[in-house]
Structure 1
Amino acid sequence: MTVVRPARPDELPALVEHPDDPERNAATRAYLAQLLDSGCTRPEWCLVAEDGDGRPTGSVVLWTLPGQEVPLALVLFEAPRDAPETAAALLDAAAAEAGKLGATELEHVVDSPAQAPQFQRNPENRGELLRASGFAVVRDGRRFVHRSPGAPDALPADDPRLTFRSLAELGRGPFVEALAELLADTADARLAADVRRHGARRAAELLFEETAELKHEPGWWELGYAADGTVAVISLPAENPAVPVIGFVGVTPAHRGKGYATSVVVRGTRILAAAGATEIRGDCDAANVAMARAFARAGYVNFADRLEFARAL
């Protein structure tokens, strides 16, 4: 019989360790310690499954942005491959706890190939376990990284066709308007689903609000205007709790096919590099071929694929 309970103090931050995998153990231990220190999780959100003899057999941890009280996702999901009932018990317990705290949806991402800090090996099996517990794929994504971008003047120059104006200058309204225009014709499956659910305007407001929860300066966020005075691109670079990120970038429908996707990725990269970033990450939907090419042209490397899952609560 599987019992799921909060982790005991002596089990943190290690949770379930693999005796033959010291690299994984060290990375996940450090990751959970960082999550606890930053407020992305708390001890009572760290759940452990144990068997009838009281031996830990699996774990799952609820996650949110620093300072938030409602869980948004789960991380460090571990369960034996031959024990689907343990996986189901952990996922159901995490969902129940998140629901009590006010969450209406719970997310989880599966990256491949397996890598630090979560080492999500056997991604196909993980996907099966998630689907069996009511999770569905909401996005098939590609992850990119730019390591050691260097000083801003070492990066490609800004596109001379674009004139940039910041959030500090313009305020929120023009940014939401540009996002609504973009989202009405987006190649991103998750954002397209938000548009179907809420309409383009409300989906734009939600995207702006969600991205604004990441650490950023108003001067970092910009709209890029073409020579005719219309908005061509939007750039929302930021820092998540782990690493600087491109956040959200996009090209308005009227200006696609002109090479602006690369220009806006370069612009966000320059801003983060100027703020001291030594590694920058970004992602896009696998269907958004133009944006994937833009990341590559801006010096980014596709280091992983990411399936994003969600379960309604």
Structure 2
Amino acid sequence: MGEWGDPALVEHPDDAERNAATRAYLAQLLDSGCTRPAWCLVAEDGDGRLTGSVVLWTLPGQEVPLALVLFEAPRDAPETAAALLDAAAATARELGATELEHVVDSPAQAPQFQRNPEDRGELLRASGFGVIRDGRRFVHRAPGAPGALPADDPRLTFRSLAELGPGPFVEALAELLADTADARLAADVRQHGARRAAELLFEETAELKHEPGWWELGYAADGTVAVISLPAENPAVAVIGFVGVVPAHRGQGYATSVVVRGTRVLAAAGATEIRGDCDAANVAMARAFARAGYVNFADRLEFSRAL
């Protein structure tokens, strides 16, 4: 087991697209500070050839790993996979992490191209990872093109974080999370309570690049908060971030309205591609993405391991 000193990866024969994408992704992670050479672990055979890899990942500027990416191991050598995952967990623990996450997309997507997702899931489960969310991924390309998006919902009046400050946003999140269809968020509520889970969600989302004017609460005609929209940018692409409808206003079509609003904000900021996701059980939000012009391009299992 060793570390990388330069951006090199396990090469897959006859898979040039995957090889090029993963090399470019690792270079981007190193350049952006999402990883560093000491966080890049490899397994080698007796002849010094790379047989497996795993890379710890965090948000730019942070020092504690949050997840692992670029996990590769021979399908016929589960012991190599276990050793890599254990080494990544030990390194992350030494750096202050208390849990480590990993996502598996199906079908395989750039830049990681995770072939054989079922096998990957078995390897993760065998190493102490459990599924915390069965998600659906959506994308909207060219959102700023003429006619790409409907107009804002005239029933809603939007006010931004720059105007309101964080307090009303956390309050709206707490109300929303008290009755959520998202398995991961529901688990946070069980662990921390709705108010603290809302604070953590707000803080986590705030770590993504955003402008205070992008984040908005949408008020219904009676003056109560109906929706919350937290669009942002991660190191790779613009994202819807978090959107939701408070329980008292559900069933009125506001889910589509808030996805459209976040999309319009990001498109106005120059985004040419926007991604979003939701729990598979959140059927209303999945429909909202589709009605706002998004395409479900992949499914995503989110795994986590306590350290």
For the aligned pair, the TM-score class normalised by the smaller chain equals over 0.9
Classify the secondary structure of the residue corresponding to 2:217: strand
Distance in 1, Cα, partners of 2:253 & 2:144: 23
Query: 2: CA distance between counterparts of 1:257 and 1:65?
Result: 36
| Secondary structure of 1:153's aligned partner | coil
SS at match of 2:304: strand
Output the TM-score relative to the length of structure 2.
0.97
The whole-number CA distance in structure 1 between the counterparts of 2:148 and 2:292 is: 12
Structure 1 residues 239-275: Cα deviation after superposition (integer angstroms, max 9, x where no partner): 0000000000000000000000000000000000000
Distance 2:152 2:106 in 1: 33
Q: Does 1:284 align with 2:278?
A: yes
1:311 corresponds in structure 2 to 305
CA contact (8 A) 1:145 1:302 kept: yes
Which string of whole-angstrom CA distances, capped at 9 and with x for unpartnered residues, describes residues 158-183 of structure 1? 00000000000000000000000000
Residue 55 (structure 1) shift: 2.1
Cα offset, 1:81, TM superposition: 0.5
What CA deviation, in whole Å up to 9, does each residue of 1:8-42 have, x standing for no partner? xxxxx222111321111100000010011111000
Q: Does the 8 A contact of 1:109 with 1:309 survive in 2?
A: yes
Contact conserved, 2:149 with 2:293, CA < 8 A, in 1? no
For residues 200-245 of structure 1, what are the alpha-carbon distances to aligned partners after superposition, in whole Å with 9 as ceiling and x for unaligned? 0000000000000000000000000000010000000000000000
Runs of 4+ in 1 over 6 A off after TM superposition: none
User: % of aligned pairs identical?
Assistant: 94
Question: What is the SS of the residue equivalent to 2:91?
Answer: helix
1:211 maps to 2:205: yes
From the superposition, tell whether residues 222 and 112 of structure 1 become closer, same or farther in structure 2 (CA, over 3 Å): same
1:199 pairs with 153, 176, 193, which one?
Answer: 193
Cα-Cα RMSD:
0.9
Residue number in structure 2 paired with 1:89: 83
In structure 2, the residue corresponding to 1:304 is in which secondary structure?
strand
- Residue 135 of structure 1 corresponds to which residue in structure 2? 129
Shift of 1:152: 7.6
**Shift of residue 150, structure 1, vs aligned partner:** 1.8
Return the TM-score normalized by structure 1: 0.95
Shift of 1:154: 4.9
Residue pair 2:289, 2:295 contacting (<8 A) in 1 also: yes
Shift of 1:151: 4.7
Counterpart CA distance in 1 for 2:29 and 2:114 is 18
- Give the equivalent residue in structure 2 for 1:106: 100
Whether the 8 Å contact between 2:148 and 2:293 is mirrored in structure 1 is: no
Structure 2: distance between partners of 1:302 and 1:14: 32
The reply on whether 1:125 has 2:119 as its aligned counterpart is yes
Q: Does the 8 Å contact 1:14/1:28 carry over to 2? A: no
Once the two structures are TM-superposed, the CA of residue 155 in structure 1 deviates from its matched residue by 2.0
Q: Name the CA distance, whole Å, in 1 between partners of 2:85 and 2:219.
A: 46
SS at match of 2:89: helix
| Distance change in 2, residues 1:124/1:67 (3 Å) | same
For 2:109 and 2:226, locate their aligned partners in 1 and report how far apart those are by CA, in whole Å. 36
Q: Which range moved further: 43-52 or 30-39?
A: 43-52
Task: Answer whether contact 1:141 1:284 (CA < 8 A) is retained.
Answer: yes
